[in-house]
Amino acid sequence: MRPAVVVLATLTLLVSYAPALRGMFEQWSNDEDVSHGFVVPIVVLWIVWRERERWRTLPIEPSLWGFAILAAGAAMQLAGALGAGLFAMSVAFLISVVGAVLCLGGFAWLRALAFPLLLTVFMLPKLALVYNQVTLPLQLLASRLAAGILTVAGIGVIREGNILEMSGHRVSVVEACNGIRYLLSLGFMAVVFAYLADTKPWMRVALLAAAVPVAILANAVRVAAAGWLPWLLSGTPHAISGWFLFVLCLVMLAVLRQLFNKAYALYLS
Amino acid sequence: MKKLSAYVLWVMSSVCLNAQPVNLGTAGNFGVLAGSTVTNTGATVVTGDLGVSPGSAVVGFPPGVVTGTIHAGDAAAAQAQIDLTNAYNNAAGRPGPTLVAADIGGTVITPGIYNATSSLGITGSVTLSGAGVYIFQIPTTLTTASNSHVILAGGATAANIFWQVGSSATLGTGSTFYGIILAQASITITTGAAFNGKALARTGAVTLDSNGVTGGGPPPPEAPAPSSLILVAIGLTFVVLYKGRARLFRQSKEN
């Protein structure tokens, strides 16, 4: 594949989807739930570069289907610009990237690039309709779990909706405490970790699935800890406790990977 | 297509018609606010500020405890009364209420605006189910029976429940009550009633007797998670270290 053609196609996509990219950039800058979006393209490009030897051996067989997918992406971009919103425009960009890969390299290239392309899903902005539906249930789930953890630990707690009341102080489990940040960040890291630490593609799906309960539980533990020790509610201790728990989540994923591998070995034998 | 249009209309109308909370202004800092006097008997605990204006009599603290500040006839209480009047008028003027029975005991109520023809009573239990704002417009009195209970379910919170009472409110002995009472005249919380909310009376007295008034004061502190950018940066560092350690381990085994 000629590098000049790839560069030209990339520039065309970037210019065509500049409003979507600008919107994504703004959301990553202003919303701490999705600020990891800055890192996703870097990791995706690094993976593409890391596997450069593999791409060189692939046959270049451009497919006309690519144009159909590019047209679908353009239609979606138009719908987004007419009112469907930033999420639609961002999906349109990713669809057009898929179309461009098909146009330039064909299905063999699309198959080979499937993993980094799927990883770009993590850089999509929030879909407000879904986010608004899940945020309150997640807040209440985190509140319920945190209250349960505190009760099991022998600490008296009264839960009223998303408010936890311990002796002498209260904690409000607001939107920013609902666990979305842990979920998205740990989901992304689970897939990247599985890619780097394991050769089996199913491990990426397994660790991604495992990341969901781990992230929800870790967030509840974080809220419970802040409820138990009020000095964890602000400043450096608050930040460090959040980071520390995230590292524990990653350790848990590493342990789970080993357990999955052992179970798989047992299954094969 | 018709179904889709109907669904879109339904979603849009449900988004637009959801009631917004009543803005309490500075009255929101008060657990108890009265127009004439606040009288307490026994070991009442009021979370937040306690105020009286235009009166200034506060009786029974101690033995009662106020976690915030007592504002007896001062400027803060006067401003809170002005804000309370605005909030009261706002709650009373919300359009499109649904009529409820004179006694809502034994019912399950979802978020929305409700009104009574005259007085409103609660006997037994009433369940407020669902996250959202509840506004009750009561032309005359609000009376809860002894040992009656307001039960919150499905994400309902005391901070989003407003009881606009045209005259006076009385909470029965041993009852449990949630919400913010905006009363034109007086509020009486009888012996041992657990009150999770704010008792805000415009002109009359607030009378307490060994109660916990827990809804006052500023909102509780939050426990937000760290930024996802920092979490992913930590994650990448972890993965790099993990890979490095694994490589070292393999090399040491080969040697």
Interface test with A, best of B14, B228, B247 (most A CBs within 10 A): B228
| Contact flag B229-A136 (C-beta cutoff 8 Å) | no
Cβ-in-10-Å burial (0-12, 13-18, 19+) of B3 comes to exposed
CA A15, A16, A22, A24 dihedral sign is negative
Interface test with B, best of A40, A246, A257 (most B CBs within 10 A): A246
User: Searching chain A, which residue's CA lies closest to the CA of residue B232?
Assistant: A185
| Partner residues linked to B165 by β-bridges | B138, B183
* CA–CA distance, A150 with A152 (Å, rounded to integer): 5
User: Searching chain A, which residue's CA lies closest to the CA of residue B67?
Assistant: A168
Give pLDDT < 70 ranges for chain A: 1, 160-161, 167-168
Give me the pLDDT at residue B9, please: 40
Which tokens belong to B168? 């006076």
Tell me: pLDDT of B36 over 60: yes
What secondary structure letter does DSSP report for A199? S
Over residues B21-48, the mean pLDDT reads: 88
Give me the pLDDT at residue A114, please: 92
Q: Is A171 helix (H, G, I), strand (E, B) or coil?
A: strand
A243 contact residues in B (CB cutoff 8 A): 226, 230-231, 234
- CA dihedral (B191, B192, B195, B198) in degrees, to 10, reads 40
Structure confidence by residue, pLDDT tens digits, B111-154: 999 999 999 999 988 888 877 889 999 999 999 998 888 887 76
Give me the pLDDT at residue B48, please: 82
Give me the pLDDT at residue A177, please: 78
Compare B87 and B21 and report the one with higher pLDDT: B87
Structure confidence by residue, pLDDT tens digits, B214-230: 665 455 667 777 889 99
B157 contact residues in A (CB cutoff 8 A): 160-163
Are the CB atoms for A58 and A105 separated by under 8 Å? yes
> How close, in Å, is residue A94 to chain B by CA atoms?
21
Backbone angles phi, psi at A223, to 5 degrees: -65, -40
Which range has the worst mean pLDDT, A230-234, B66-70, B158-162?
A230-234
Give me the pLDDT at residue B165, please: 95
Q: Is B95 helix (H, G, I), strand (E, B) or coil?
A: coil
pLDDT band at B2 (very low <50, low <70, confident <90, very high): very low
Q: What number of H helices and E strands is found in chain B?
A: 3, 22
| Partner residues linked to B34 by β-bridges | B52
Give me the pLDDT at residue A168, please: 63
* Residue among B155, B221, B229 whose CB faces A140 most closely: B155
| Contact flag B228-A238 (C-beta cutoff 8 Å) | no
Q: Which residues contact A248 (CB under 8 A, 6 or more apart)?
A: A218
Give me the pLDDT at residue B16, please: 38
A192 contact residues in B (CB cutoff 8 A): 235-236, 239
A188 contact residues in B (CB cutoff 8 A): 232, 235
* CA–CA distance, A53 with B3 (Å, rounded to integer): 52
pLDDT band at B4 (very low <50, low <70, confident <90, very high): very low
| Contact flag A246-B234 (C-beta cutoff 8 Å) | yes
Q: Structural domain boundaries of chain A?
A: 3-125, 129-268
Structure confidence by residue, pLDDT tens digits, B9-34: 443 334 334 567 899 999 988 989 99
A171 contact residues in B (CB cutoff 8 A): 220-223
pLDDT band at B65 (very low <50, low <70, confident <90, very high): confident
Which range has the worst mean pLDDT, A233-237, B32-36, B170-174, B201-205?
A233-237
* CA–CA distance, A191 with B241 (Å, rounded to integer): 16
